Amino acid sequence: MEKYRKIIIVIFSLIMTMSFYNCNEITPEVFLQKSWSRSYEEEISKEIQIYRPSNYKEFPPSRYREVFEFEANNVCKYLILAENDGHYMENGKWEYNESTKIIKIFNSNSEIKYEFEVVELTNDLLKLR
């Protein structure tokens, strides 16, 4: 009986440790790692841009809708507005500074393509200035 008690305590300790570890993994970088589409229909100010996960809803038709795809290891893709309406995804890199809340998106030549301040970030909402 004592043997089973020890096994149960070890299993419980492992479960608690794993739960605690997973809670600590929810960082802004984790929330950012998905495809975000600009939801300009929701914007009430020219200062703040609103993005939703690309699969959040069916967005109304639009000539162009800004899209960012943030992946692990700071790899990203962003939609390019082409002059001939032949929009395409461009590869790049991204970095997020948690203390300043600044996200930078670099093109393949390591030049800053976009720089935003993250105003709000949840699982289904990204507000940028």
Mean pLDDT across the stretch 55-62?
Answer: 92
Q: Are 65 and 38 in contact (CB under 8 A)?
A: yes
Q: What pTM, to 2 d.p., does this model score?
A: 0.78
Quote the DSSP letter at residue 60.
Answer: P
- How is residue 93 written in tokens? 């890199």
Using CA atoms, how far apart are residues 117 and 110, in angstroms rounded to an integer?
19
What pLDDT sits at residue 29? 87
More confident residue, 41 or 84: 41
Classify burial at 19, counting beta carbons within 10 Å of its beta carbon; exposed 0-12, middle 13-18, buried 19 or more.
exposed
Mean pLDDT across the stretch 42-59?
Answer: 95
Quote the mean pLDDT of the chain.
86
What pLDDT sits at residue 38? 98
Residue boundaries of the structural domains of the chain: 28-128
65-85 pLDDT, tens digit each: 999 999 999 999 999 998 888
What pLDDT sits at residue 3? 61
CATH topology of domain 28-128: Lipocalin (2.40.128)
16-31 pLDDT, tens digit each: 444 444 445 568 888 8
pLDDT band of 128, cuts 50, 70, 90: very high
- How is residue 91 written in tokens? 């590869």
